[in-house]
Chain A
Amino acid sequence: MYALCAGIGLRAPHVTRVLAEKPRIPWLEVHSENYFAAGGAAHDALERIRADYPLSLHGVGLSLGSADPLDPAHLGRLRELVDRYQPAFVSEHLSWGAIDGMHWNDLLPLPHTREAAALLVDRIHEVEESLGRPILVENVSSYLRFHAGMSEAEFVADVVRRSGCGLLLDVNNVYVNSVNHGFDPVDYLRAIPCGVVAEMHLAGHTRKTGLPEPLIIDSHDDFVSAEVWALYERAIERFGPRPTLIEWDARIPPLEALIEEAARATQRLEACRAELA
């Protein structure tokens, strides 16, 4: 469908223009939780957008990796959303965000242990059974890692392999973590099985200075960096062209900037396809 094109994450400041002007954007992704309300203007807009664009739903609050059970109300609302909008992809994160009923509303890092991997596999199956369809899971950026356990790439590969779900490979997150935790990002890509990547994400980040070691914050507030574009090219060489999304969540620029950034990704996807042909 839109395998060889890059879309954008649709955020509130751009909804009015997308509705009015229907710009040429191959596909759009929205955060699932932004549409959890029972009704209202956001749904009216998304109904109209869904009629004109392929759509994917990207969840940020389900807390797949929490030792607590999944929140049935949250899962129920996600199911209603999936039933209503019939998205091309539904994705969640390989992270946790709640414990003992308290939610931190963040994508918190998991230990790369067998216990955490087994829990994620069970939870992915639970979500897929509830939604009646497969989901993708995304590797997250992190600012700390726990002692012991597998490397992050081994952990992600293990979860994806054992659960059978697809991977939403966030290339920026791989790069951010490679700097924050001192590993080779290309080695990370090599550790991921070739056939599992179903979608990729790209975003901007912020490099902190004046610290005793390098640190990058996954801020989604800038253009994709040269290093991430280079890693993206390595990723599509390895995994083939995959639907790709530009995420921009803070200091959001005019819509044109996102469309141009998506076009840069599409050029790379087309070049990869030409090489494969």
Chain B
Amino acid sequence: MPSLRELQRGFAAAMHGRAGEIIAAIDGGALGAGARVGIYRNAIAATRLRTLSDSYPAVRALVGDAFFERLAYRYSDLNPSRSGDLCVYGARFPQFIEQSPEAIEPVPYLADIARLEWLRQEAALAADADSVPDPMPRLPAAADPRRLRATLHPSLRSIRSAFPVFAIHRWCDAPAEPAPRLDDGAECGLIWRSDGEVAESAIHPASYAFVEALREGGTLADAAAAGEAQDDGFRLRDCLDGLLDRGLIVDFTPQAGSS
């Protein structure tokens, strides 16, 4: 009898179609060891397909069930699960789509839709804010407002795409609406959780640059400079108000070393 580790490695190989090592250790009966191993292989493949389908419903709707299944099975072969928690399985599916010419050539925006769907899942599962966001977090009285850093809501995610990804995603949910036109252009946007539901909103590229700068730890001045670099007309106050109104900034802290 092989050791437990040898046996489990043999079983793992069998899940990749190399059942030779494990067959001798199994009492196959009339059904046969290969068929019995196949029950597990099929169940595992079905679980991964179901997990990806649950996480990427718009991708599935866009490419159809048969193509999605082929894509999902190939992804599963190349990307084994690394966690006992299936909620984190499928994180690399957008990159996999991006590198799959048969997927990206007919549907050039497919990887960005997948990216949006994964960000929506991350937003749904992210930590709660430590406290209910104050609609107007207080600015430390002695601090120079432009030298403050902002703490973003833990669920806040952002995306930038060369395609109208939010419009396409909405259309997948309600395909009776007129289909979005790809020449509607690029979209930037935010995804977050509000009252337990995932929300999303397209934003101006300058606002996207502002949020990304804040996320990287920049001060309000740094972030405003990033926004202004995108658009001379960027207005810090308006952008900040939009984030505060949505509860997406939960705190302000002075830059280290400033007073």
Binding site for B on A (CB under 8 A): 33-34, 36-41, 43-44, 60-63, 65-67, 71, 73-74, 77, 96-106, 108, 110-111, 113, 115-116, 119, 143-149, 182, 211-213, 215, 217
Whole-angstrom distance between the alpha carbons of A73 and B8 in the complex? 22
Whether B80 pairs with A146 at a CB distance below 8 angstroms is: no
Whole-angstrom distance between the alpha carbons of A146 and B1 in the complex? 9
Cβ distance B108 to chain A, nearest Cβ, rounded Å: 32
Whether A100 pairs with B12 at a CB distance below 8 angstroms is: yes
Residues of A near B40 (CB, < 8 A) are: 104, 106, 108, 143-144
Whether B8 pairs with A99 at a CB distance below 8 angstroms is: yes
Residues of A near B31 (CB, < 8 A) are: 211-213, 215
Which bracket fits the contact residues of B? 35 or more
Whole-angstrom distance between the alpha carbons of A212 and B31 in the complex? 6
> Which of B120-128, B159-167, B206-214, B225-233 participates in binding chain A?
B120-128
Count A-B contacts at CB 8 Å.
139
Residues of B near A60 (CB, < 8 A) are: 84
Which of B8, B15, B33, B86 lies in contact with A144, CB distance below 8 A?
B33
Which of B5, B39, B84, B196 lies in contact with A103, CB distance below 8 A?
B84
Whole-angstrom distance between the alpha carbons of A148 and B2 in the complex? 10
Residues of B near A212 (CB, < 8 A) are: 30-31
Cβ distance B39 to chain A, nearest Cβ, rounded Å: 4
Chain B residue, CB-CB nearest to A101: B82
Residues of A near B133 (CB, < 8 A) are: none
Whether B154 pairs with A38 at a CB distance below 8 angstroms is: yes
Whether A61 pairs with B85 at a CB distance below 8 angstroms is: yes
Whether B83 pairs with A71 at a CB distance below 8 angstroms is: yes
Residues of A near B139 (CB, < 8 A) are: none
Closest A-B pairs by Cβ, 10 of them = A61-B84, A37-B125, A41-B196, A38-B127, A39-B128, A67-B5, A144-B36, A212-B30, A99-B8, A103-B81
Whether A111 pairs with B4 at a CB distance below 8 angstroms is: yes
Given A61-B86, A143-B36, A144-B36: A39 in contact with B4 (beta carbons within 8 A): no
Given A41-B124, A63-B84, A102-B81: A119 in contact with B4 (beta carbons within 8 A): yes
> Which of B21-29, B65-73, B96-104 participates in binding chain A?
B21-29
Whole-angstrom distance between the alpha carbons of A115 and B126 in the complex? 40
